[in-house]
Amino acid sequence: MNEYAQHNEVYRELVRFDQRTHKDKIVDALTQVEGRWLCGTTFLRAYLPTYSQRIGELKNDGFNIESRACDNPTHEHRSSVAMYRLVADDD
């Protein structure tokens, strides 16, 4: 394997690991708030810029995650930011 191919392989592995970890963090956060809504800006502040893609993947993985536009009047984000909640199986 040449150096370029090897670097590409290392890169793919780093990204894969990073995304898995981000998905774990997002599930942990949504579990921690026990079914309450969590604004996407919380994930941004926790250095998870691709949270919406990761949440899409988690839904594909079978997690029942609801989303709607954040309507918290104390939040200062201007553009429409979604908030999320994890729906328990027995809901």
- By CB under 5 A, residue 52 contacts Zn ion: no
- By CB under 5 A, residue 82 contacts Zn ion: no
Report the C-alpha gap between 70 and 42 in whole angstroms: 12
**Among 25, 42, 66, 75, interactor with Zn ion by CB under 5 A:** 75
Residue 44: CB minimum distance to Zn ion, A: 10
- By CB under 5 A, residue 39 contacts Zn ion: yes
Gyration radius from the chain CA atoms: 16
Q: Which letter, b or e, does each residue of 13-30 get, where b requires 16 or more Cβ atoms within 10 Å of its Cβ?
A: eeeeeeeeebbebbbebb
| Interacting residues toward Zn ion by CB under 5 A | 39, 70, 72, 75
